[in-house]
Amino acid sequence: MATAQRDIVSGPIELKGRTLPELENLFLEHGERKYRAKQVYDAMYIQRVAGCEDMVLLPQPLREKLNSEFRTQSVQLKTLQHSQDGTKKFLFDLWDGRSVESVLIPSEMVEQDGQPRRLTLCVSTQVGCNLGCVFCATASLKLTRNLSSGEIVDQFLEAQKHSSKPITNIVFMGMGEPMNNYENVMLATEIFTDQRTKMVAPRRVTLSTAGVIPGIIRMADEGRIIKLALSLHATTQERRAELMPIAKKYKLPELIESLEYYYRKTRKSVTYEYILFDGFNDSIEDVRRLGKLARRMPTKVNVIPFHDIDFTQPQGFAKELRPSSREKFEWFIRELRNDDVNVFIRSSSGEDIDAACGQLAFSTESSAA
């Protein structure tokens, strides 16, 4: 598997977000011994200490040097909201005054002890997003910059502090298009799935893309072992382009071919995400087309209820979008199952705190530097 190359996000030098070889190089460049880098790496990701003061294996002068020369904390918790269903939404401040959100979602299935079977962290990869999907609140925030790998990893480390149960799954499905910050997303993934850190298993990390074909091809060619999901949301090129402007650049037939290429290279199934909109993509013809697409290779389809984004004051076509009725939603699932599609329902976790899928967007003032 290829090692990602760093895409530099300017600002103070970060300690977090570096793979072990990168951290070792950084220490050598700063006149420190290589083995010290391993001690720092373990302290950050295995012992998960709060700061350099707690890295007890390091001599005091080195702890002081790290504190003065590097940024040891990549994100700072600003607010934490709790949903009635157990979902938690985090707003994190970044070093340059910008902010991003992450969402921690317990699975509905519970173990015998009442604990959720899975605990999934939905992480952000960019500040804002420039892809403009009409159903997505994040699209109302202009893209400001990519997150560094440290800012991605630190969302996990900070969120974990607020849960007694270990985070078991990571989805790159928060703010931003992960394929447009590929290098930093993959560096963060290498740390998340490193045998040494054991933060999460590779099969429990999912990258969700709006359909950036070069990224899909690259993941396939590099043999990335994490999972891939596509925000499909419509079964014709025309309809998809109405919802997602990126579909005009990366058209549906080529997109599906890129997924088939990905499957041939990795032997990994792909997940289709499908938000159901009333009267737009919930007809029997949609069921048939979706079934046909889904059966072209091993896939899973997540059907997702639409959560309104009225708080972003959508305009034009976006303003018209409504969720399908509950009956229609259930009918759609049933028809897909009758059509031999491997279907799952993605719930409305965190809807009461605007943390559900596609709803991540704090006020634009708070995102300004």
For the annotated catalytic residues, the residue numbers are 101, 357
Q: What is the per-residue DSSP string for 129-178?
A: -SS--TT-GGGGSPP-EEPPHHHHHHHHHHHHTT-SSPP-EEEE-SSS-G
The least distance separating ligand SF4 from the CB of residue 178, rounded to whole angstroms, comes to 9
**For residue 171, which of 231, 244, 95, 81 has the smallest C-alpha distance?**
231
Q: Which residues bind ligand SF4 (CB under 6 A)?
A: 129, 131-133, 136, 138-139, 175-177, 210, 358
Q: How far apart are CA 267 and CA 259, in angstroms?
A: 11
The distance in angstroms from the start CA to the end CA of the chain is 37
Tell me whether residue 136 or residue 159 sits nearer to ligand SF4 (CB atom): 136
Residue type present at position 236: T
What are the beta bridge partners of residue 271? 229, 300
The least distance separating ligand SF4 from the CB of residue 208, rounded to whole angstroms, comes to 8
What is the number of other CB atoms lying within 10 angstroms of the CB of residue 311? 12
The residues, any chain, with a CB within 8 Å of residue 12's CB and separated by 6 or more, are 70, 71, 95
The least distance separating ligand SF4 from the CB of residue 122, rounded to whole angstroms, comes to 11
Q: What is the per-residue DSSP string for 26-75?
A: HHHHTT--HHHHHHHHHHHHTS--SSGGG-TTS-HHHHHHHHHHSB--S-
The least distance separating ligand SF4 from the CB of residue 132, rounded to whole angstroms, comes to 6
The least distance separating ligand SF4 from the CB of residue 270, rounded to whole angstroms, comes to 17
- State the burial class of residue 328 (Cβ atoms within 10 Å of its Cβ: 0-12, 13-18, 19+): middle
Tell me whether residue 19 or residue 209 sits nearer to ligand SF4 (CB atom): 209
